[in-house]
Structure formats: structure tokens, C-alpha cells
Amino acid sequence: MAAFSSACFIYPDDGEGSRFDRMFPPLGLELVAASVRDVIPQRSLIDMRFDRAWEAQLAPDTDIVALSFLWDMPLPKVFAMVRAIKRRCQGITVVAGGRFAEANRKALVTAAGDERIELVFSGPDDGRFRTFVETGSAERVAGVSFVKDGAYHATPMPPYGPIPDYPLPDRSLRRARYGAIRRDGFFLGIYTDAIQSSRGCPFHCAFCTFNKDSEGRQIAYTARSAESVADELEQIDAPFVTFVDDLAFHRPDRMEELCDALLERGIKKTYAIETRINMGMRPEVVEKMARAGFRYVTFGIESMHDHVLEFLNKALTRRTIEKAFAKIRHVPMFFVSNFIIGSVGETREQMLQIPDFARAIGLDSIMIHPLRCRGPEPLTAKVLATPGYHIDPESKRVYSDALSAAEIQGIARQIKREFWTPQQTLKSAIKFHRLIKPNLVTLASNWAAWKLRGQPRPWEVQQAPGASARQAREPAGLAA
Ligand code: SF4
């Protein structure tokens, strides 16, 4: 018999997510919830991005709450949330996981009693929550932090193992419908879902903080079987699904196998992935991907200057990028790339070559990021060792004696202006509409509602007091 009988899985609203962060359901929590489906009779899920009156959704007889902290959040806000949970559910056990919880595990488990998180899990769950639920004993779980007899303990964390094929995330607990909803409340008319088909990355980009665990060990690349990914996609209702893998195309043969499974089973959706430009080296697989529904691809090219690519340790050259794009730019896919500016040795003139280069290779959209060193990635030491280069302690942005952080920000704006000419905007809009097919009627009615409502400040709609039950269940763009 399990040590708990009623569990609630809570996804907090960090308030600082990306422009479209309501595209992404709390997949990690849904996986954890699925792992205890047969041992905890009563389970519920609260997504605070939608559930404004979340305390009313938390059943008073809940005896365990699992929180997922993927993104930074002020600790006082976390403590206030835990106090509210403990006020509502007497004697409850609160556990947490996710990058932010891992980074602050000691502070969270040693906080005062009414704001203490009893157990913090480091790394992916992989069945450990179930072990805790079945035994009620923290000592028997690997990679957790807790306090016992007044002393802080942390059990050793093993390296990440292979990503499991099953269970699939429990989507039945959802109370919100996820979609491409901008933070200002404007809904693009596309309902979305997400899937994780692999984890880890074998590359060593100098700026990357995603490829290592909290002990600094490289997370080995492992992938789920094509069959299990197709099984999950078959269960998803939303027409647009984002693969949240760091590197969705690392194994071309597996990608081809997945496309074959999707085509054979007749699973028709539009997929977005993020991957490296080496995808262009297997154009026949890329063409099959387009037939299977892969239509939105984001690359991390970062730069077209070999000295910058070397500085960033991208294991790429300009020639490779150009050759790869030449093989795939005819494929019906919307191509986006990230670029990093402000690297050591990169001049203003070199940064301003991005718009021409991006158009020449066939990109449909670009994202420009001033270089940041969040530490402890290897880049921080490299930047600090270069005379004349500095890291802003607050924003973590890199700047130099020659170019201030504000000037680099200005260059980023100029690059975007020069890329988004009227012709480029029209060309990309037509292609986006042709490939992604947003619902134009929904788009128009939501645009009208959004305009009539005025331009709300970010999150204003969701934070409105007294939100109705319907508002809690529908995207804000529809609830207006
Ligand atoms: S390829 Fe992507 S995930 Fe891998 S190290 Fe580079 S930036 Fe990180």
C-alpha cells in the first residue's frame, strides 16, 4: 500500500516565461502523475498559468503535492506558495523537482516548517517519485535532498539514464487547453501540445547550460523508440506539437523510422523541432519529414563567422552551414535560426552581416541574442580571460571596451529591422500560413477581442480577480 492517497501536481507561474510559454503543457508533471496512476487513487493537476484561483482547486484532503520548478522564481514567492498549500492541507508533504528546485535544494528543504519543501528531486524523475510514494522513505530514493533529525541530507545522484519509452504523460488531468497565446493575451488560433522524444546532447557548445546535469556531468544523448513516440502522438488531440528535445534530429535513421510510423498509422499533425544544421546532410530524410508533418524547424546556427563559431565551440563552419541549407531550402518547412552576437572578437560590421546571410541561405525568421554567460558554462572563464571583455553581473550579458551592452542591444534591434523588410515579412507570412495553417477565423475574432479589450499588460488577463471557472479552463484569448 502506498504512503499517500491523494496527490496534487502543481505547475507554478514564474511570470517571466517566453513570449509564447502557454504553448507548453507541464509534461514533466504529467509524466510523474502517470507513474503513480495505479498507486494513488486521487490525483489532480493545477497549472497556475491558467488556474488563478488555484487554492480552491486544491482538495483539503490532499496528502502530497509535487511542484515543478523549471524556471527561476524569487524564493519568497516559493515560500509563500508552500505556506498557502500547508495552510489548506494540514499535515501535507510537499516535494519539488526541476532545474530551479535543484539549484536551490538546500534553501528549500531547510526553510522554516510552514514553508519547507520536504524533499527535492534532482534530475529527471524516471520512477523515483513512485519509489518515494510507495515507501514513504526519502533515504531509499537516489538524488534527493531532505532534512532528517535537524540535519541536511542529500542522497547521491546517479548520471541520467536512458529516457524511458513508457509511461506516457497523463494528459487526462489537464484543465487548460494549451495554445499559441502571446503574453499580452493575443491567441494565434493554433492549439498546441508538446512531446519529449529524446534527451541529452553529445555536443559541447561553450555557452550551453542544457547539456549538463547539476553535478556538471554531460547528459548522454538517448532517444525513445519510434514506436513509443508514435503511440504518444496518436493520443494527442492538438494539431500542432512541439518536440521539446534539445536535438530532435541527432539520429537520422531513427527520425526516418518515426516518419515511417507516422505515415503508416496516418497520424496527421504539424510538428516543430529544434536541431542542428547537420539535418541538411540527409535531405532524403528531411523530405520524408516534411511529408510526415514536420514543418517548423529551429536551428542554432549562432554565427556565420568561423572565428565566432570556433569561439562558441559549435563544431560547425560557415561552409558546412551553406552546404547544408543548399540541400534543404526547397523543402516545405519554415526555417528559423538563433544567432548570438557580441562574442569575443566579433565586430559591429560582422554582426550586421546577419540579415544578408540569413536571407541568402534561406531562413524564414531569425532570433538574435546578445551573448550571455550564466555560468558555470566554460564560456564564462574564456570571456573573463580576454582583456577588454566583461560580464554584466545582473544581466550576465557580455560587453567590451569597444561595444557596451546597450550598443550590442541596439545592434540586435538593427539586425532585426534590416532582416524584416516588407518583402521578407510578406514572404515569411505567406509561407507560415501555407505550412502551419492557423485558423484565420479564430485568429481574426481573437485579434478583434484583444483589440477591443485594449492592450493588456503581460498577464493582466490571467491575473484579473474573480476569474470564472470557464476562464480557468480556457486560454485567456478565448475567455475575453
Ligand atoms: S547542440 Fe544545442 S543542446 Fe547541444 S550543446 Fe550545443 S546548444 Fe547545447
Across the range 296-312, mean pLDDT stands at: 97
What's residue 19's pLDDT?
A: 61
> Is the per-residue pLDDT at 375 higher than 80?
no
Ligand 1 proximity of 205 Cβ (cutoff 6 Å): yes
Question: 288, 270, 195, 266: which is closest to 432 by C-alpha?
Answer: 270
Ligand 1 proximity of 276 Cβ (cutoff 6 Å): yes
> Is the per-residue pLDDT at 462 higher than 50?
no
What's residue 187's pLDDT?
A: 78
What's residue 457's pLDDT?
A: 42
Pocket of ligand 1, candidates 208, 245, 310: which has the most ligand atoms within 8 Å of its Cβ, to mutate? 208
What's residue 16's pLDDT?
A: 59
Ligand 1 proximity of 211 Cβ (cutoff 6 Å): yes
With contact defined as beta carbons under 8 Å apart, do 315 and 203 qualify?
Answer: yes
Q: Which ligand 1 atom is the nearest neighbour of the CA of 207?
A: 7
Pocket of ligand 1, candidates 199, 205, 310: which has the most ligand atoms within 8 Å of its Cβ, to mutate? 205
b/e code 10-26 from CB counts within 10 Å (16+ = b): bbbbbbebeebbbbbbb
| Nearest-angstrom CA–CA distance, 393 and 375 | 11
Across the range 273-295, mean pLDDT stands at: 96
Ligand 1 proximity of 446 Cβ (cutoff 6 Å): no
Q: Which ligand 1 atom is the nearest neighbour of the CA of 246?
A: 3
User: Between vectors from CA 282 to CA 279 and to CA 284, what angle results, nearest 5°?
Assistant: 125
Record: fold of 6-154: Rossmann fold (3.40.50)
CA–centroid distance, 206 to ligand 1, in Å, is 9
Q: Between β-strands 294-302 and 334-341, what pairing exists: parallel, antiparallel or unpaired? A: parallel
Ligand 1 proximity of 203 Cβ (cutoff 6 Å): yes
Residue with the nearest Cα to atom 3 of ligand 1? 246
What's residue 452's pLDDT?
A: 77
> Is the per-residue pLDDT at 257 higher than 80?
yes
Q: Between β-strands 6-11 and 42-47, what pairing exists: parallel, antiparallel or unpaired? A: parallel
| Nearest-angstrom CA–CA distance, 254 and 275 | 14
User: Between vectors from CA 88 to CA 86 and to CA 90, what angle results, nearest 5°?
Assistant: 60
> Is the per-residue pLDDT at 469 higher than 60?
no
> Is the per-residue pLDDT at 458 higher than 50?
no
Mean pLDDT over all residues of the chain? 90
> Is the per-residue pLDDT at 459 higher than 70?
no
How large is the ipTM?
Answer: 0.99
Across the range 348-358, mean pLDDT stands at: 98
Ligand 1 proximity of 195 Cβ (cutoff 6 Å): no
Q: Which ligand 1 atom is the nearest neighbour of the CA of 208?
A: 8
| Nearest-angstrom CA–CA distance, 420 and 400 | 28
What's residue 473's pLDDT?
A: 31
In tens, the pLDDT along 23-68 reads 899 999 999 999 999 999 899 999 988 887 899 999 999 999 999 9
Ligand 1 proximity of 300 Cβ (cutoff 6 Å): yes
> Is the per-residue pLDDT at 467 higher than 80?
no
User: Which of the four pLDDT bands, split at 50, 70 and 90, describes residue 466?
Assistant: very low
Q: Indicate the residue type of 382.
A: K
Q: Which ligand 1 atom is the nearest neighbour of the CA of 276?
A: 1
Q: Which ligand 1 atom is the nearest neighbour of the CA of 204?
A: 5
In tens, the pLDDT along 209-228 reads 888 888 888 899 999 999 99
In tens, the pLDDT along 162-182 reads 999 999 999 999 987 888 877
CA–centroid distance, 204 to ligand 1, in Å, is 7
Across the range 397-419, mean pLDDT stands at: 97
Ligand 1 proximity of 210 Cβ (cutoff 6 Å): yes
Residue with the nearest Cα to atom 6 of ligand 1? 205
What's residue 32's pLDDT?
A: 97
What's residue 178's pLDDT?
A: 87
Residue with the nearest Cα to atom 8 of ligand 1? 208
> Is the per-residue pLDDT at 91 higher than 70?
yes
Residue with the nearest Cα to atom 2 of ligand 1? 246
Pick the CATH number of 186-436 from 3.90.1150.10, 1.10.630.10, 3.20.20.70, 3.40.50.920: 3.20.20.70
> Is the per-residue pLDDT at 392 higher than 80?
yes
Pocket of ligand 1, candidates 203, 209, 213, 277: which has the most ligand atoms within 8 Å of its Cβ, to mutate? 203
Cell of 129: 517519485
Pocket of ligand 1, candidates 196, 198, 201: which has the most ligand atoms within 8 Å of its Cβ, to mutate? 201
What's residue 460's pLDDT?
A: 38
Domain boundaries, the chain: 6-154, 186-436, 444-479
With contact defined as beta carbons under 8 Å apart, do 130 and 140 qualify?
Answer: no
> Is the per-residue pLDDT at 476 higher than 60?
no
CA–centroid distance, 374 to ligand 1, in Å, is 15
- Kindly state the percentage of the chain with pLDDT values over 70: 92
What's residue 455's pLDDT?
A: 52
In tens, the pLDDT along 137-165 reads 999 999 999 999 999 999 999 889 999 99
CA–centroid distance, 418 to ligand 1, in Å, is 27
> Is the per-residue pLDDT at 471 higher than 60?
no
Helical pair 354-361 and 405-419, crossing angle rounded to 10 deg: 40
- Kindly state the percentage of the chain with pLDDT values over 90: 75
